[in-house]
Amino acid sequence: MSAFKISKSGRNTILSATLVAGTLDILAAFLVYAVILEKTSPARILMSISSGIFGKAAYSGGTPMIITGLLLHFVIAFIFTVFYYLILPGLAFLRKRKLLSGVLYGIFIWLVMNLGVLQIVFKGMPMPDPNAALIGMGIVIVAVGIPISYIVSASGRR
């Protein structure tokens, strides 16, 4: 149990990385999917996140489901940040290569979410086409993987 004790400094690092990565990721999703591609709206993106727990009812739940989606989004960012924080000391070959580490972690996150979590939560969900996969993976690399890598590494985590 003591192996997972996180110092106050570590908690601040995790909180900072979570807030930066979660904010960049959701803003990138809004920008790409709602503004540039005009496929959906920010509210629908957040309701989609809520639908992982509440199913189709999330789409008719209004503001509470939008807020729930945002909170769930940050919970997911928090989980991936804590995981990175905990595994970093064991990744000696990547500690010095923050950019490479962030890119690889972004790919890992995308794979876990798209091949694991989303397939379990939304049974029968088709895999994204290659172009959509590259866009999604690019967002996760730039908005989540790289920021988490740099923020956690900057904390002096060894």
Given a cut of 70, whether residue 52 has pLDDT beyond it is yes
Q: Look at residue 158 in the predicted model and tell me its pLDDT.
A: 64
What's the mean pLDDT in 35-45? Answer: 96
Q: How far apart are CA 93 and CA 55, in angstroms?
A: 42
Which pLDDT band, with edges at 50, 70 and 90, does 4 fall under? low
**Can you read off the two tokens belonging to residue 64?**
């509470």
Which letter does DSSP use for residue 142 in this model? I
Identify which of 110, 156, 158, 154 has the alpha carbon closest to the alpha carbon of residue 132.
110
Given a cut of 60, whether residue 13 has pLDDT beyond it is yes
Q: How far apart are CA 111 and CA 106, in angstroms?
A: 9
From residue 22, how far is each of 59, 63, 65, 97 by CA, in Å? Answer: 22, 19, 18, 22
Percent of the chain topping pLDDT 70: 96
Q: For 112-146, what is each residue's pLDDT tens digit?
A: 999 999 888 888 788 889 999 999 999 999 999 99
Return phi, psi of residue 6, to 5°. Answer: -115, 130
Contact 145, 106 (CB under 8 A): yes
Ranges of H-type helices in the chain: 8-29, 42-54, 63-87, 92-95, 98-111, 118-121, 130-140, 146-154
Global pTM reads: 0.91
Q: Look at residue 122 in the predicted model and tell me its pLDDT.
A: 85
Q: For 71-111, what is each residue's pLDDT tens digit?
A: 999 999 999 999 999 998 888 877 889 999 999 999 999 99
